[in-house]
Each structure stands twice: as C-alpha cells, then as structure tokens.
Amino acid sequence: MGNQLKTTLLLAVMTAFIMIVGNLLGGRQGMIIALVLAAGMNFFSYWYSDKIVLKMYQAREVGPQQAPELYETVQTLSRRADLPMPKVYIIPKEAPNAFATGRNPENAVVAVTQGLMNLMNRQEVTGVLAHELAHVKNRDILIGTIAATMAAAIMMMASMARWSAIFGGGHRDDNNGGGMGAIGMIAMSIIAPMAAMIIQMAVSRSREYLADATGAQIAGNPEGLAQALEKLGADSRRIPMDANPSTAHMFIVNPLSGKGLQSLFSTHPPVSERISRLRGIRPQSGPSAPPPPPGGNRREAVGKAFWDNLKG
C-alpha cells in the first residue's frame, strides 16, 4: 500500500508541474496541445511496445515443447496469481536479465535471457518469473505509460515555453518588466523537464519495490527472488547487456550502469535495498507455498542440468 500511495503522490506532483508550466506558457491551449501530442505518442508505445522490444532483442517465443520446465513454471505461477497465461520468450543474450511487457494481462509477455537461465537454479528462476508476473498483475505497463505521457507533455510544454521566451515571450509580465518574465520561462523550461524525468524514474522505482513484494507473495517464498537479485546485481555488471536506454526500465535489474547523481535518473532502486526488503518478508506457509528446493544451502549449485534443454 505504501508504494501504491507513493506512486499516486508522484503522479499528482507531475500533474501539478503540467499545470504550472501550462500556465506559465500562457494558458490552457498550449497545455492541451502538449497533452494530446504526448498521449498520441505514448498510445502508440502502449499498444506496440511489446512487439518493438521483442524484435529489438531478437527474442523467440517458446512453448511447452521447446522449454517445458520454463513454460510449466510460468503456467503454475500464472494460476497462482490468477492471471491468464502469458506468452513466453527467450532472449539470446548472455547477460542475465528478464522483463515483462504487454498492454494488459490478456496480452502479456514474459521474457528471460539465456544468460539468466544458465546462471539461476529453479527457485531463483521462479522468483524472477514471479516478479515479472507481479508487474503484469499490478498493471505497471499502464502506470508507466501514464507517467511517460505526463513527462513527455511537460517536456513539450517546456520546449514551447523556451522558444516563446526567446522570440518575444514573457508578455504576461510586461507590466512588471518583460525581461524577468522571459527569464522565468527559460528557467522553468530547463528545470521542469529535469524534475519530470526524476519523478518518472521515482515512479518506476516504486513499482519495482511493489513488484518485488507481490512477486514474493506469488512465489510463496521471498528467498528465491532475493538470491536471484544477488546474482543479478553481480553478474549484470560482469556481463554487460547491449540494451537500449529507452527499454532499461522494463528489466528486472537495470542493464545500464549509473552511480552518484545518475542514480536520481535510475529506473531501478538499489539491488541491496531490494534484497533487504525481501528478506524482511516472512515466507508464506500452507498449500499456496511451493515446496522448498532440494538441499538447504542458500548458495546451492546452479543446477544447469535443469535448464540444459532450454539452451540454443
């Protein structure tokens, strides 16, 4: 509930930015035009982003014949989450990662890289898949599209305000000195897009925390996802992924590296913090929880034999 509230507040702040920049620009007309343009661009992205990103990473669809264990795991988790069975894809990349996409649960896609299957044991893969199904269940693709629409609208209006100020803008403040009005518009046109981007990234981070928590519930045990994040945090840096920055927010861990000030613009929260939060969740008990994996060692062997038939 905390992450849901945080998302709502962040979107409210972004809405306020739209109103402020629109008012600064000179009224509702510019604001409406920017919103319509941004909505049109993101409507296209919302409906076709799954096809675009799957083609971008050369992902191939697999079924129960090509990848029986992977497909069965997704099927089991989907039933447990009360979701329709999504399409399952494998990305031919050695970097370990995964993502979910699709405009709604009825058109969802779950994709994992070859590197993730080579690295993870069954419990860890289950945790990753549960996290991705949590994104589908929580409608994060829709929420991300709304945030992107608002951010794009702010950027468009800021650009309009900047050109208006350069070419004789600031007329609203002519009685108090048009120069100050133009300076204010230029300053806002620089500050607003940066603030919108930071808020958009904060929305993305809050949804990752929520997907971790929901995924732990779906899997029945948070430890599998916690262990998977430990491996992903180390190996995603050791084996970098040639990822498009525009799709970075989709993956379970950020395929792009960033430190210091760049963390403000990160689409993902720190892996260490995600692991700590997961290990603060008590495992479920009862019929909904899956049986523990063979062996009690948290650092058990990768178990490549389980996934060998998924290679190639």
| Confidence bin at 69 (pLDDT 50/70/90) | very high
For 20-29, 191-200, 301-310, which range has the lowest pLDDT when averaged over its residues?
301-310
The pLDDT value recorded for residue 234 is 86
The pLDDT value recorded for residue 248 is 80
- pLDDT: which is higher, 105 or 3: 105
Residue type, 145: T
Q: Is the dihedral of CA 29, 35, 41, 47 positive or negative?
A: negative
For 98-112, 201-215, 238-252, which range has the lowest pLDDT when averaged over its residues?
238-252
Q: Specify if 53 maps to a domain.
A: yes
φ and ψ at residue 89, rounded to 5 degrees: -130, 150
- pLDDT: which is higher, 312 or 35: 35
Q: Is the dihedral of CA 236, 241, 247, 251 positive or negative?
A: negative
| Confidence bin at 36 (pLDDT 50/70/90) | confident
The pLDDT value recorded for residue 175 is 47
Question: Which residues constitute the domain of residue 242?
Answer: 2-281
Rounded distance between C-alpha atoms, residue 213 and residue 310, angstroms = 28
Rounded distance between C-alpha atoms, residue 161 and residue 248, angstroms = 30
H or E stretch including 67? Answer: none
For residue 276, with 0-12 CB atoms within 10 Å meaning exposed, 13-18 middle and 19 or more buried, which class applies? exposed
273 included as an active-site residue: no
For 4-13, 20-29, 42-51, which range has the lowest pLDDT when averaged over its residues?
20-29
The answer to whether 201 touches 225, Cβ cutoff 8 Å, is no
Q: Could you list the beta-strand ranges (E) of 225-308.
A: none
Per-residue pLDDT of 168-193, as tens digits, reads 655 444 444 444 466 767 777 777 77
Q: Specify if 290 maps to a domain.
A: no
Closest by CA to 305, choosing from 296, 297, 294, is: 294
Structure tokens at 38: 């941004």
- pLDDT: which is higher, 105 or 151: 105
Q: Is the model's pLDDT at 107 over the cut of 80?
A: yes
Q: Which of 94, 106, 124, 132 is catalytic?
A: 132
Closest by CA to 223, choosing from 231, 28, 160, 132, is: 231
Q: Specify if 129 maps to a domain.
A: yes
Residue written as token pair 């697999």: 62
Closest by CA to 50, choosing from 142, 122, 134, 120, is: 142
When the pLDDT of each residue in the chain is averaged and rounded to a whole number, the result is 77
Q: Specify if 147 maps to a domain.
A: yes
Q: Specify if 223 maps to a domain.
A: yes
Per-residue pLDDT of 221-270, as tens digits, reads 999 999 999 999 888 778 878 877 778 888 999 887 554 445 556 778 99
The pLDDT value recorded for residue 293 is 42
CA triple 191-193-195, angle to 5 deg:
65
The pLDDT value recorded for residue 245 is 77
Q: Per this entry, what is the length of the chain?
A: 312
- pLDDT: which is higher, 36 or 98: 98
Indicate the number of domains in the chain.
1
Q: Specify if 297 maps to a domain.
A: no
Q: Specify if 301 maps to a domain.
A: no
For 7-21, 233-247, 269-283, which range has the lowest pLDDT when averaged over its residues?
7-21
Q: Is the model's pLDDT at 64 over the cut of 90?
A: yes
The pLDDT value recorded for residue 84 is 96
Q: Specify if 292 maps to a domain.
A: no
| DSSP assignment string, 178-218 | HHHHHHHHHHHHHHHHHHHHHHHHHHHHHHHHHHHHHHHHH
